[in-house]
Structure 1
Amino acid sequence: MSGTILVGDDWHHDAQPINGVTVTDLHEEFGWLSEFGPFSDVSCVSFVRSLSPVEALTRLGAEVGGIEEATFEELQERTMKCVDSNDMRTSYVGTLEMDGWTVLIQLWWASIAVDRHLLMRLSQATEVVSINRNIHASDFFVYAADGELVTWFDLLGPDARAGSDPDRLVDMMREVGLDPDLDPDLDLDLDVDVDDPDLGTEFPRSFALARKITGFPFSQDMLDMRFLGAMINSR
């Protein structure tokens, strides 16, 4: 794969009804991620285009002989062995192939999104979307292409973007309700309206943004599929 990297195939600028629901409401289908334990605490879900699961895992440093099938429950068990080992360099990645993309899941870990070397290797001659969740620190969205960090932003501060083309995704961000023009001078000491329906929706909205790029949703049904998984070393 070579040449100009495009952001998905079918994304559009104008909010359009889909089955009677506007695009800006579609984040609601990802609400389960905020409530489902393995993803709601610390996790990293990434999407890489035009690579098979084996290709994606080997780019991350996995040994071909170490790639194995796993259920979601086994993925969790193998991840916990990494956590229990206290080796912060090693993590377990589960992968699925969907619609020309490979989905990569890391639980209780976030090495792909936070490790620039892994992200750059994975995105060579293709594109990668990565969503980091860490309720103890910060959640952020990363888009990389051709081995370059294109845009990055904290989900709580989408106005402060970084990367070689930080405005690449702003139209889609608006469509899913991640305001790229958020007022940075907002007084954070103001009382928070606990009844605000948008409060705490940044995480599911990031998956709505990923859907606009990849063309398919990350659904809970995927967790019933067989994964290909392997240990990777971030150093």
Structure 2
Amino acid sequence: MRKIMPADYAWENDWQEEIYTVTFVRGLDERETLRRFGVVDDDIHPADGEEAMERVEETDGCCDMVLVTRAGDWTIAFEYSGWEGTRPETLRELTRDGGEAVSVMRHDYAASHDFEHAVDGRIRTAFRPQTPQERWGTHPDALNEDMRELGLEPEPDEEYVSGSVPAALALASRVSGVLFTPALLDGPLLGGIITDAVPDDPREGDPLPL
């Protein structure tokens, strides 16, 4: 099988979406993926990008809506102007009991994109694509070989790597075997608004919740 490369995501450089998160989820169907994102059953419904963009406007650019579709053995969750799929708490919920998920966030305004790979309730490898030398997780070096091939040098000469989102998406595709394209968002899709998100973990030093 041909290895996916950043060139397979060349379209991303010209895409109008400046903030989004795509999460590839193995082991869950579309409805269960939405539930674990925090969408309650009564709110799961057929949805499309137009509805999501209306929600972006309603939430002043901090969208809480998730759209899902199926691609092979994986469910693809997409958030316009959202980033729930990057939260460790959400990834833990998506991957508990032997699951797997990999997410990529593009956020041009925060200037801090994000890559997260989680397996069985734990973050395995995570980093910000523009600074791939700063990695964390239970296996921070597990993807180093692929990262090098994709131009995400684990120990780059430059402190900051520009144009790194296509490479991060290609890395997610190598993990999942699924090539994400905007055409996947043409439908049919299910979606819903997150109203029951996984609670944040207590910060270090905070009292444990009752």
The answer (yes or no) to whether the contact 1:122–1:128 under 8 Å persists in 2 is: yes
* Structure showing greater Rg: 1
2:132 is the counterpart of 1:155 = no
Partner of 1:211: 173
- Distance in 1 (CA, whole Å) between partners of 2:194 and 2:182 is 24
Q: Deviations over 1:174-213 (max 9, x none)?
A: 2222111224xx477xxxxxxxxxx743101111111111
Shift of 1:109: 1.5
The answer (yes or no) to whether the contact 2:129–2:152 under 8 Å persists in 1 is: yes
Which sections of structure 2, spanning at least 5 residues, go unmatched? 200-210
Q: Read off the aligned partner of 1:74 and give its amino acid letter.
A: E
Task: Name the % identity.
Answer: 30
User: Which of 104, 108, 119 matches 1:145?
Assistant: 119
Shift of 1:69: 0.6
Equivalenced residue count is: 195
Q: Deviations over 1:59-112 (max 9, x none)?
A: 12211111011122222223433x14x8x6x71000011111111111112122
Partner of 1:36: 15
The answer (yes or no) to whether the contact 1:72–1:227 under 8 Å persists in 2 is: no
Q: Give the direction of change, closer, same or farther, for the CA distance of 1:72–1:171 in structure 2 (3 Å limit).
A: same
TM-align CA RMSD: 2.1
What secondary structure is seen at the aligned counterpart in 1 of 2:132?
coil
Which sections of structure 1, spanning at least 5 residues, go unmatched? 1-9, 11-17, 189-198
Shift of 1:132: 1.2
The answer (yes or no) to whether the contact 2:130–2:162 under 8 Å persists in 1 is: no
User: Which of 39, 51, 55 matches 1:62?
Assistant: 39
The answer (yes or no) to whether the contact 2:64–2:194 under 8 Å persists in 1 is: yes
The answer (yes or no) to whether the contact 2:6–2:150 under 8 Å persists in 1 is: yes
Q: Read off the aligned partner of 1:222 and give its amino acid letter.
A: L
The answer (yes or no) to whether the contact 1:148–1:164 under 8 Å persists in 2 is: yes
Partner of 1:136: 109
Q: Give the direction of change, closer, same or farther, for the CA distance of 1:224–1:147 in structure 2 (3 Å limit).
A: same
- Distance in 1 (CA, whole Å) between partners of 2:13 and 2:168 is 11
Q: Read off the aligned partner of 2:170 and give its amino acid letter.
A: A
Q: Read off the aligned partner of 1:218 and give its amino acid letter.
A: F
What secondary structure is seen at the aligned counterpart in 2 of 1:55?
helix
- Counting only pairs closer than 5 Å after superposition, residues 116-195 of structure 1 correspond to structure 2 as 116-124=88-96, 125-137=98-110, 138-183=112-157, 186=158
Q: Give the alignment's TM-score, normalised by structure 2.
A: 0.84
Shift of 1:155: 0.7
Q: Give the alignment's TM-score, normalised by structure 1.
A: 0.76
- Distance in 2 (CA, whole Å) between partners of 1:157 and 1:176 is 14
- Distance in 2 (CA, whole Å) between partners of 1:175 and 1:206 is 11
2:84 is the counterpart of 1:111 = yes
Partner of 1:77: 54
2:191 is the counterpart of 1:229 = yes
Q: Read off the aligned partner of 1:131 and give its amino acid letter.
A: V
